[in-house]
Amino acid sequence: MASKMNAPKSVVENLLETTIVTCTELLVDEKTIGFQSFGNFEVRKKDERLSVHPATQIRTLIPPKLVVNFKQSNILKEKLKDLPHHEQ
């Protein structure tokens, strides 16, 4: 990133660290974060659910929790659509 920005590495590291800290604080406050041409990050609540272990059939109640959800922008979606698919 530093070479693309033609900036000192220490400046870019500080900028990136500040961005991550700020985004974390916003998500903790349940705010949506949008990056133009990239997408949005938002906090969503996952409801309580019942899970069944496939081998033992033991049922476990999974409590509700907050998760970060990412929705890609249409611009990113179009760029990814043109990439070749890789099999693993």
- pLDDT at 86 (0 to 100): 66
The answer to whether 27 and 68 are in contact (CB under 8 A) is yes
pTM: 0.75
Asked, for residue 57, whether it belongs to a domain, the answer is: yes
**CA dist., res. 44 & res. 41, Å (int):** 10
Name the stretches of the chain with pLDDT < 50.
none
Query: Residue 30: which domain range?
Result: 2-74
- Tens digit of pLDDT for each residue in 3-25? 998 999 999 999 999 999 999 99
Tell me whether residue 88 is in a domain: no
Position 59: which residue type?
A: R
Number of domains in the chain: 1
Check residue 82 and give its pLDDT: 81
- Give the domain CATH number at 32: 4.10.520.10
CA–CA separation, 68 and 33 (whole Å): 11
